[in-house]
A = this chain, B = another copy of it.
């Protein structure tokens, strides 16, 4: 998968991953790997800054804890984050339907 294909959809992935549970950054990366069958292997330099952005935007909040001597920053959705997630999901549906329509699995362009 092209790396920049994620552009503009990363927030949706992170919010969806945090929907209904609290996770710390490292666990989010693992959850995305698992949930995508290994297709998504996001580098920490992508995920951590994105989480800070989401926190600045008020979509998540974080709490520090220490587990086994290691510090963890655990994130969870705010109600604004829940709303944002719903918006992202519908935006995603709209986006895919538009692109699908043009790429045309069955449109008038799909004669080949």
| Interface set of A (CB-CB < 8 Å, partner B) | 1-2, 4-9, 12-13, 16-17, 19-20, 32, 35-37, 39-40, 82, 88-89, 91-92, 94-96, 98-104, 107, 109-112
15 further contact pairs, Cβ within 8 A, besides A13-B102, A37-B98: A1-B95, A2-B8, A2-B91, A5-B91, A5-B95, A6-B8, A9-B99, A12-B99, A16-B102, A16-B103, A17-B109, A35-B101, A82-B112, A88-B103, A96-B100
How many identical subunits does the complex contain?
A: 2
- Chain B min CB distance to A37 (Å): 7
- Chain B min CB distance to A98 (Å): 5
A100 to B16, CA, bound (A): 10
